[in-house]
Amino acid sequence: MTTTTESGESTDNLRTFVAYVEDKPGVLNRIASLFRRRNYNIIALNVGRTHEPGISRMTFQVTADAGMAKRIEANLYKMVNVLSIEDISEVQRMVRDLCLIKVNVAAERRTEVLNLVEIFRARAVDVSTDTMTVEITGAQGKIQGLVDALRPFGIVEMVQTGTVAMSRGTQGVAARMAHTVSAGGQAPAARRSAGSMT
């Protein structure tokens, strides 16, 4: 088992990256191809539109040590369709997954399940005679906690989104930013520009 932090993320070299990419056909394929070719192991991947037209935002998690993380960053930066890339593993951040879990539950045990749902701050979103579907949002640790708690009832199916992440506070990852390389073998450190998506 991997250890998890209070926010529920694994600490075994799990790195979280945020990238802005051009919303064009084939871009995800390019990025996936890079990961495959360079043998990077993706744990989670999410892509979605942003408030800026034509720009999508990706969150991905990879197991990598610090040196490898730098090279992942540099290799993604090189891609023509990648507008910016930042490793947010070392900053305060919010990390979320959304999960739907359908459990076997007969009418007489519904309250039991609803109690668990309450404890985990999840919610029931669908009920049938024999099943209930629960939605939970949170970091992996929390989700896994609910999954374990529901397992004895019999999980019919479950589905999760890829992880999405955002840094806390006023700063944002800029959609377009210059890439800098500092000395001491620490290449490359993406510079953060406050808030704006310049």
Partner 1 sequence: MPKAESSTDPNSTGPQQIPGSEIIWDTLVNLGVETVFGYPGGAIMPAYDSMVKFPIHHVLVRHEQGASHMADGFARVAGKVGVCVATSGPGATNLVTGIANAMLDGIPMVAITGQVNSALIGSDAFQETDITGVTLPITKHNVVVDRPEDISAAIKEAFHIASSGRPGPVLVDITKDAQQARCEYEFDPRPVELPGYRPEYSTDSNDIARAAEMIAAAKRPIIFSGHGVVRSGSSEVLKELVDKTQIPVASTLLGLGGFPASHERALGMMGMHGESWVNKAVQQADLIIAIGMRFDDRVTGNLANYARQAKKIHIEQDPAEINKNVIVELPLVGDAKAILDQLLPIAKKGDIEGWLAHIDHMKGDDAVIDIKELPDNGKLYAAHVIHELWKKTDGRAIIVTDVGQHQMWETQYYHHDYPRRLVTSGGLGTMGFALPAAIGAQFGDRDAEVWVVAGDGGFQMTAAELSTIQQEKLPVKIAIINNGFLGMVRQWQEMFFEGRYVSTPMLSPDFVKLADAHGMDAFRATTLEEAADAIAKARAIDGPALIDFRVVQEDSVYPMVATGKDLDDMIRRPDGSTEGPAVADLSKQKHIKNPLIETGDDE
Q: Using the rule CB under 8 A, which residue among 179, 192, 193, 197 binds partner 1?
A: 179
Measured from the CB atom, is 55 or 155 closer to partner 1? 55
Measured from the CB atom, is 70 or 142 closer to partner 1? 70
Provide, rounded to whole angstroms, the least separation between the CB of residue 9 and partner 1: 25
Note whether 182 binds partner 1 by CB under 8 A.
yes
Which tokens belong to 155?
Answer: 């999980």
Contact mark string toward partner 1, 4..43, x via CB under 8 A: -----------------xx---x--xx--xx--x------
Candidate segments 1-9, 94-102, 159-167, 179-187, binder of partner 1 by CB under 8 A: 179-187
Restricted to residues 56-95, the positions that interact with partner 1 (CB under 8 A) are 67, 70-71, 74-75, 77-83
Q: Using the rule CB under 8 A, which residue among 187, 192, 193, 197 binds partner 1?
A: 187
**How far is Cα 114 from Cα 6, in angstroms, rounded to an integer?**
24
Cβ–Cβ < 8 Å for 175, 190:
no
C-alpha dihedral (71, 90, 46, 155), degrees to nearest 10: 120
Environment class of 75 (CB within 10 Å of its CB; exposed 0-12, middle 13-18, buried 19+): middle
Q: Using the rule CB under 8 A, which residue among 109, 130, 180, 194 binds partner 1?
A: 180
Provide, rounded to whole angstroms, the least separation between the CB of residue 167 and partner 1: 21
Provide, rounded to whole angstroms, the least separation between the CB of residue 86 and partner 1: 14
Binding site for partner 1 (CB under 8 A): 21-22, 26, 29-30, 33-34, 37, 67, 70-71, 74-75, 77-83, 176, 178-185, 187-188
